[in-house]
Structure 1
Amino acid sequence: MSFSTVNPTTGELAAAFPLQGDEEIFEALVVADRRYREDWRLRTVAERAEIVGRGGRILRESATSTRLCRSWRWERASVSATSRSI
């Protein structure tokens, strides 16, 4: 059994990923917890912001769907508008 991702524009299968069992999920959580304790929590807010920003740039650059990019811009604009009105 697997988890599938479908391109909403074309309806074509974009990717399929095998479902993970309890053991794989537990191991991933252990690794994530260790990385947080030994690295992430020791970084400054500025360092974290740079890393997250870099990840955002990579995601935008690798987006293959114009619709995905438009959706991201719309969500970002909505969040900015909401933030200003608070």
Structure 2
Amino acid sequence: SVGVARQYCGQTGKTDNCRVAVSLSLATDSNSLPLAYQLYLPAEWTDDPKRCAEAGVPASVGFLTKNQIAAAQIRAAVAAKVPRGV
């Protein structure tokens, strides 16, 4: 599966073979709405063009840290004038 690597897995609370995604949601007192969701690809994936090609990952996809992905999601939400939640 694309992105599977030995890394910290939030669901298990430990390092394991798993996929990780970075997401952004807008929340109010009563609801939550997902705004962005992106699969995190570890460097061991992005540094291996053959592996990425075989898995259908576009050659243009490069390594980004989880923080970089999250910051881009927040910038996009601000640029789209998404109202703040709680």
Q: TM-score if structure 2 supplies the norm length?
A: 0.29
Query: Which protein has the bigger helix share?
Result: 1
Higher relative contact order (CA closer than 8 Å, sequence separation 6+):
2
Q: TM-score if structure 1 supplies the norm length?
A: 0.29
Larger Rg over CA atoms: 1
Query: Which protein has the bigger strand share?
Result: 2
